[in-house]
Structure 1
């Protein structure tokens, strides 16, 4: 994967190249760009698809600036600027940073897609989100959490991937997500810093700004989500002046894992029509 050195540090990213519409896919906490591995093949033939790995704990290179939600927002904006990405369809799953990017920096975006993500006062979301927060505030807690999640028989528990997906994620993919946290104390420090520097009002502030994002917007919500309240999808769609809601069955938060074909079809239709 190519790398780019940004103000906050160096990140890796996938880039399919090509001349089609630009799609930037953002993943959630303790995942990396491989969460999109089932989606990229369905878009790459006629879209340029970029998949940065953000400093959420599965990144390989420790950050020069300790990450916070605000640092990640600036990093995403700088990533778009440095690669001169224009008329971007910004897609985000699980985390809520794209809401603030759209509210504060709409200039490079043509479209916005929010997928079963943190919103409003659901922050941090669900049992896994709260567990990360507790672990980050407990000496040695991040290391203990990762050791527990590293035990394959426990991954489907509600505190693990059982809250995020209906269908099991291959162990080799999960092992890749967890490896940096298991092997590098600096990566653990990055996740600890991020989780202990959350501003509780951040997404409520972002929601106020979404009303000014008057561009095509698609909200995709999992009907069986255990972490993100179903009513938040409808509420986000109403806030966005050109918002539209699509719900997907037989899926939890990580729609790209549970229903990739349905998601690709929605994205292709949305980008083609907007």
Structure 2
């Protein structure tokens, strides 16, 4: 199967520039990056894509077996890199894609030059001294609600995840994105996301890493960002003056500046 068609790969920006690959989170697609792409594209070759099952990807390529683990999504990333012969990639992963990027980088470290993790969480459920932000009962309730009424769950949860209640259009955009996803595929992706535990993988990351967190984020609280930074050798933690879980939409300028600064842009 043609990987570029399968994952709706779009390449923009400076053709001979260093590569930046943008990876979306659960319930989203590459359109979520549209406000940061112009700044990145001035000096970089920007690669956008949709995971199989999301956006305008080829839904016929989706399988429950493959996408019931984060490794299945990491395979999407690596197959795109091989197809386009991408090397020295700066991978920018939002939410669950931060962990997908970590897995891809551990599997084929020679392909990645830098890793940017936006709102990462290696485990959403509390575990002993580790505080992921949710109890086991919280996650089970969330998944049961999603299973029983996906559209209702999306309408209720998307504005909470987005934050910024004074800007309801942002919550509505995320709601629309969630609702555009096939419910059966979304249920599998949600379980893959919210039941994963990637803490042991963080210590294996050797790619220079920036952890970007928001000052308030109900999905990835501040303590989680600190945990990720402490677990990845030599990584850097930056707290954006932004709220919610999607700063690429709510604070695109600050997000772009942080990414470009880490990539070495003189501006």
Query: Normalising by structure 2, what TM-score?
Result: 0.80
Choose the corresponding residue for 1:27, options 18, 24, 33.
Answer: 24
1:242 equivalenced with 2:250 (yes/no): no
Pick closer, same or farther for the CA change 1:195–1:225 going to 2, 3 Å.
closer
Q: Secondary structure at the match of 1:250?
A: strand
Query: How far apart are 1:194 and its partner, in Å?
Result: 3.2
Rounded Cα–Cα distance in structure 2 between residues aligned with 1:246 and 1:226: 17
Equivalent residue number for residue 110 of structure 1: 113
Give per-residue Cα distances to partners, 1:21-68, cap 9 Å, x unaligned: 100011111111111111001111111111111135444531424122
Question: How far is the alpha carbon of 1:268 from its aligned partner?
Answer: 1.3
Q: Which residue of 2 aligns with 1:72?
A: 73
Deviation per residue, 1:153-203 (Å, 9 max, x gap): xx4x5x22222232434588447524543xxxxx33322333445694541
Residue in structure 2 matched with residue 133 of structure 1 by the alignment: 143
TM-score by length of structure 1 reads 0.78
Give the equivalent residue in structure 1 for 2:89: 88
Unaligned runs of 5+ in 1: 150-154, 182-186
1:75-123 Cα offsets, whole Å, 9 max, x none, are 1111111111110000111113112122222110000111112224549
Contact 2:123–2:194 (Cα < 8 Å) also in 1: no
RMSD over aligned CA atoms reads 3.1
Relative distance call for 1:273 and 1:53 in structure 2 (3 A) is same
Any idea what the Cα deviations from partners look like across 1:6-32, whole Å, max 9, x if unmatched? 39x811122104211100011111111
Q: Which stretches in structure 2 are left out of the alignment for 5+ residues?
A: 127-131
Indicate conservation of the 8 Å contact 2:89/2:111, yes or no: yes
Deviation at 1:147, TM superposition (A): 4.9
Q: Does 1:6 align with 2:3?
A: yes
SS across alignment from 2:113: strand
